Structure 1
Amino acid sequence: MIKHTYDMGLIGNCAYLALIRKDTSVAWLCWPRFDSSFVFGDLLDEQKGGEFSIRPAAPTPFHSHQYYQQNTNVLCTEIENEDGRYRVTDFAPRFPQYERYYKPLMLIRKLEPLAGTPRVRVACNPVGDYGQTRLSRRRSSNHIAYLGLDEEIRLTTDIPLTYVLEGEDFVLNETKYLVLTYGAPLEAALASTAERFLLGTVDYWRQWVKSTSISNFHQEAVIRSALALKMHQYEDTGAIIAASTTSLPEAPGSTRNWDYRYCWMRDTFYTLTAFNNIGHFEEMERYFHYIANISTKVKDKYQPLYGISGASELTERELPLAGYLGNQPVRIGNDAYTHIQNDVYGQILVALLPLYVDCRFVNPERASPEKLVYETLHMIEKTMDQPDAGLWEFRHIAQYHCYTYLFHWAGSHAARKVAHSLGDTDMEALATRLMQEAEHRIEQCFSEEHQAYANAIGSPHLDASTLQLIMMGYLDPNSARAHRHLEALEKELMTPEGLFYRYRHPDDFGTPETTFLICSFWYVETLACVGRLEDAVREFEKLLSYTNHLGLLSEDVDARTGSQWGNFPQAYSHVGLVNAAYRIAKKLDRPTFV
């Protein structure tokens, strides 16, 4: 069977993200925000998605080599055919300027001849409103303006505009530049400015990598994951999205095609843990501010997810697009925002804990920290006996999920630490009582038949999320019960390749066909927790084989073929890699480099 991979690289500057194929075409670019309409989106529809490519003119086969400049998010694509060889360097400018980061809505493409006399053809045809709006073009002296959106898209280039407008090929015998902007255009010398921006961007990313605190355990893979994760933070608000894309199917024909360009509260704890594990305080602090802003607006309940601006309504709708490889529907928005997912309260408390107990945070930006903690504890109390959709967002199934009670327990545990820090005995008493109540319900999930914890009270099914019982310290990792629980999950959910399904029982859309990468990384962490270190290293190294050619991870993997599926790149998968590597390195007692 053919192995399917996403043969694309990701670039970004914390203001936008773009996916570049190995043939140089821009498969995905949303402007002006992560969750805006695409201006290039032939990933989802070749006819309506527009085009921005620098392909060989000859119809003969060509060879492509794509790579990142080391320790950066600057992407290089080299194309070679019978005429010659050339390189396209793509990057989103990002570097410090005037005591801030300069991160414009600007895609810079540097085009260099490397050998022979390559002939190339440049196409640039952005679209609007998810392919429903075709833009008009206005030719100027040294640029082409594309009109029809809220702001102007402009292509500034030293390639003859006639060649671009008429789709004519030309001989590439010197370095050329293409700068595409949204809103504010480039109004400076083209070549020297592009080179200056390139040098500044390379230096920024390399300095950022130098400031990470990581061990020498598979350091290259951890660096790439950290760089990918960094790009998924929308710096303006601090939100971190689950993935840069929408509607890439979890499995072909499954209709499990979701929009992941939003910020999930359930991922908060794991994401912040990843940044903490690599020693990146700035990203943690920005994300804290985003969560804190949402917390002040909450009235009755927290939603499972919010928009990158903190928007609470993310109404789901389907678009008239062909879909990735014909997979429909194509969705934007995500109705999961309406779900009841009660683990979110514990997630918030665990995530915000450092604001009150970490000495690096001074004067958290909240007038009364007690108010937030008390309100969240009362939400835990209110929902203690309320069934919910659970971590995996079942649309028509409500249960008393073990994972939800685990985070009731963990959130209450975090609140006790906050109470101790604040000297609030009433808060400590409430948190202690709720911990005990949550523990009672977790124990109701224990299955004598499996000698393991089921996914919910009264359920016969096992679920990979209960690996967290060991990882979060609810179960003593040295105990016989922890080891039996892990063995039961291995027997029920692990494939021969070492990949993990979330669960194997039917849900709203049938039985899951692909494995979920974050669960496989949780498994690795759990192996390290229980002392099976050799197994943890072996399984971690297996998981590295499921990256694409650039070290980027998808959401799901088909265990039979090793194929990548689901939205891509998946921030959650890269979070899993970073945290698993950190857990193993600590057990191996490897030195950490800062």
Structure 2
Amino acid sequence: MTKHTYDMGLIGNCAFLGLIGTDTAVRWLCWPRFDSSFVFGSLLDSGKGGEFSIRPTAGGGFESRQYYQQNTNVLCTEITNADGSYRVTDFAPRFEQYERSFKPLMMVRKVEPLRGTPRVRVACRPVGQYGELALNRRRSSNHIAFLGLDEEIRLTTNIPLTYVLDEEDFTLNETKYLVLTYGAPLEAPLESTVERFLSSTRDYWRKWVKSMSIGDFHQEQVIRSALALKMHQYEDTGAIIAATTTSLPEAPGSTRNWDYRYCWMRDTYYILTAFNNIGHFEEMERYFHYIANISTKVQDKYQPLYGISGSAQLVEQELPLEGYLGNQPVRIGNDAYTHIQNDVYGQVLVALLPLYVDRRFIDPERPNPEKLIFEALRMIEVTMDQPDAGLWEFRNLAQYHAYTYLFHWAGSHAARRVAQTLGNPEMEQLATRLMHEAADHIEQCYSPGQAAFTNAIGSPHLDASGLQLIMMGYLDPNSPLTHRHLEALEKELKTPEGLFYRYRHADDFGTPETTFLICSFWYVEALACVGRVDDAIREFEKLITYTNHLGLLSEDVDAKTGSQWGNFPQAYSHVGLVNAAYRIAKKLDKPNFV
């Protein structure tokens, strides 16, 4: 079986994201938000997905080379064939202007001849309503307007409009520019404005990278992962989505095709840890405010996930689209928002802890700062003996999960620290009691016969969330019990290639076929925690071979073929890489991480 990779690069500016294929085609771009309908979506349907490409026209095929300009999210695709070669530079403008972030809904393409006399064909056919709506075109003096959506899409270019409208070949003998906008159009000189935007965007990303505080352990991959993670933050609200896409299958034919363009509360702690580990305060603060805003609206319970605006209703629908490589169904929305996942209360408490104890943060500006903490503690108290769907969102199975109790424990621990900071003995007493209750439940998951903690009380199954008992500090990393627990997880879930399954038992959709990358990075972190640093380095270096040609990670990997599957790029896989690299670097060079 051949190795499958996602041969695409990611561009974005914290207002939108786009995926560009190695053939220059925009395979995925949603406007005006991360979770809007695609305007280009050939990734999920070659016919209904529209097209935006700058392809060569001579027969005989072509070669492609795709790369990022160093330490930026500016993407270059070079095409070579018998006629010659040319380069397409794609980017989403982002830089500081008038003391604010300039991040327009604007995709810019610069096309330069490099050698010979290449002939190209430009196609630009955006669509609406997930391919159900064909847009009307209106030709103007120097642009083409596409009408039918809430706001106008406009292509401004110095390519003859006839060539674009008729999709006719032409010789590329000078640099051409294409600026595609949603809403506010470009109303400025084309060539000079694009060059200024390109230079400013490049400078912005390089300055952002320079401000990272990272060790020298695999810096290049950490930088690329950090840049990818940054783009997944919807800056307007601070939300960070799980992945750029929807419905890319976890394995071919598995029907595990989910919409990941939302913000999962369960991953809050890991994301904030990653930004903290690279020293980026602004992103942490924005995400804190998003979480805090949701927390003020919660009445009965927290949902496992929310929309990027904080919306609670994420009704799942199936769309009449081909699907990626024919994999159906294609889903938008995610019914996991209806699930009971009780670890979210602890996740929120651990995530919000710095607002109360980190002196870099000014007062959270709430009239009653104790209220939020008390409410989350009360939810932990109420759900302490309630089964839930667990971390992996089992749709037809409720258990008393060790992972849920771990975050009851960690969240109560965080609340106790807040109580001590605020001088609130009532809160401290409640948090301490819940810590002990949660620990008692975790201990009920211990299986003497397996010398390990299973995934739930009374369950024989091990799963990768058990690694978190080590990483969160519940288990003493120097204890023989901890080492035996880790060895049992290795034996059950690790592949010979060093990848980790979430679990190996059957769920609602059968037995998982692919490994989950973030679990593999958790394993690396656990190895570093217990002092097996050489093993951690070896396994980390195996994992970074599973990126695509640009260093981007998917959600899942087929251990046998090394194929990428699942939604892409997966922000949480990059979170896992950043945190694992930090954990190793901290062990290798302690003086740099005091």
- Amino acid aligned to 2:173: N
Q: 1:216, 1:593 within 8 Å by CA — same for their partners in 2?
A: no
2:125 maps to 1:111: no
CA contact (8 A) 1:15 1:105 kept: yes
1:398-431 CA-partner distances (Å, limit 9, x unpaired): 0000000000000000001000100111111100
In the alignment, is residue 418 of structure 1 matched against residue 418 of structure 2? yes
Amino acid paired to 1:300: D
Give the partner amino acid of 1:208: W
CA distance in 1, matches of 2:283, 2:359: 17
1:456 Cα shift?
0.1
Q: Measure, in 2, the Cα distance between the counterparts of 1:438 and 1:231.
A: 36
Partner of 1:17: 17
Is 1:156 equivalent to 2:166 in the alignment?
no
* Structure 2 partner of 1:239: 239
Distance 1:150 1:362 in 2: 39
Partner of 1:558: 558
* Shift, 1:591, TM fit: 6.4
State the alpha-carbon separation in 1 of the partners of residues 526 and 278 from structure 2: 19
**Aligned equivalent of 1:271:** 271
CA distance in 2, matches of 1:390, 1:593: 34
- Partners in 2 of 1:590 and 1:61 — Cα distance? 52
CA displacement at 1:59 relative to structure 2: 2.5
**For structure 1, which runs of at least 5 residues remain unmatched after alignment?**
none
Alignment of 1:249-264 (within 5 A): 249-264=249-264
Q: Which residue of 2 aligns with 1:324?
A: 324
CA contact (8 A) 2:501 2:516 kept: yes
Q: Which residue of 1 aligns with 2:283?
A: 283
Pair 255,416 (structure 1): closer, same or farther in 2 beyond 3 Å? same
Contact 1:216 1:592 (8 Å CA) reproduced: no
Specify the alignment match of 1:70 in structure 2: 70
Figure out how many residues of one structure are paired with residues of the other and give that number. Answer: 594
Cα distance in 2 for residues equivalent to 1:135 and 1:314: 26
After TM superposition, give the deviation of residue 58 of structure 1 in Å.
1.1
Report the CA distance between 1:163 and its aligned residue.
Answer: 0.4
Which residue number in structure 2 is paired with residue 84 of structure 1? Answer: 84
Letter in 2 for 1:211: S
Q: Distance in 2 between matches of 1:590 and 1:3?
A: 39
Distance in 1 (alpha carbons) for counterparts of 2:383 and 2:94 = 44
CA distance in 2, matches of 1:361, 1:460: 44
Task: Check whether the contact 2:90–2:107 (CA below 8 A) recurs between aligned residues.
Answer: yes
- Aligned-pair distance for 1:590? 6.1
Deviations 1:452-495 (A, max 9, x none): 00000000000100100000000000000000000000000000
The one-letter code sitting in structure 2 at the alignment partner of 1:187 is E
Counterpart amino acid of residue 320 in structure 1: P
TM-score (norm 1): 0.99
- Tell me the distance in 2 between the aligned counterparts of 1:321 and 1:403: 36
Residues 547-569 of structure 1 show CA distances to partners (whole Å, capped at 9, x for unaligned) of: 00000000000000000000000
- Hey, what does 2:361 align to over in structure 1? 361
Matched residue of 1:33: which SS?
coil
SS for the counterpart of 1:510 is coil
Give the aligned partner of residue 474 of structure 1: 474
**CA distance in structure 1 between the aligned counterparts of 2:358 and 2:154, rounded to whole angstroms:** 46
What do residues 119-151 of structure 1 show as CA deviations (whole Å, max 9, x unaligned)?
Answer: 000000000000000001000100000011000
> Please, which runs of 5 or more residues in structure 2 have no aligned partner?
none
* 1:244-273 deviation line (CA, Å, top 9, x unaligned): 100000000000000000000001000000
The whole-number CA distance in structure 1 between the counterparts of 2:464 and 2:334 is 24
Other structure's SS at 1:215 match: coil
More moved, 365-374 vs 44-53: 365-374
SS, match of residue 344 in structure 1: helix
Match of 2:7 in 1: 7
Corresponding residue for residue 549 of structure 1:
549
Q: Which residue does 1:394 correspond to in 2?
A: 394
Q: One-letter code of the match for 1:33?
A: R
1:155·1:179 contact (CA, 8 Å) conserved in 2? yes
CA distance in 2, matches of 1:523, 1:219: 20
Distance 1:64 1:494, change over 3 A: same
The 3 A distance-change label for structure 1 pair 144 and 45 is same
Distance 1:274 1:365 in 2: 25
Distance 1:352 1:91 in 2: 34
Q: Compute the displacement of 1:592 (Å).
A: 4.6
1:243 and 1:470 map into 2 onto residues whose CA distance is: 27
Task: State whether structure 2 residue 336 is matched by structure 1 residue 312.
Answer: no
In 1, distance between residues paired with 2:178 and 2:89? Answer: 10
- Two-structure CA RMSD over aligned residues (Å): 0.9
Shift of residue 365, structure 1, vs aligned partner: 2.7
- Distance in 2, Cα, partners of 1:459 & 1:449: 12
Work out the CA distance in 2 between the residues paired with 1:555 and 1:165.
38
Give 2:228's aligned residue: 228
Distance apart, 1:373 and its partner CA: 0.4
* Matches of 1:578 and 1:549, distance apart in 2: 18
Q: 1:213, 1:592 within 8 Å by CA — same for their partners in 2?
A: no
Q: Is the 8 A contact 2:57 2:119 kept in 1?
A: yes
Is the CA contact 2:586–2:593 (under 8 Å) kept in the aligned structure 1?
no
Amino acid at match of 1:507: D
Instruction: Return the offset for 1:368.
Output: 1.3
What is the Cα deviation at residue 61 of structure 1? 1.1
Decide whether the 8 Å contact of 1:215 with 1:590 is kept in 2. Answer: no
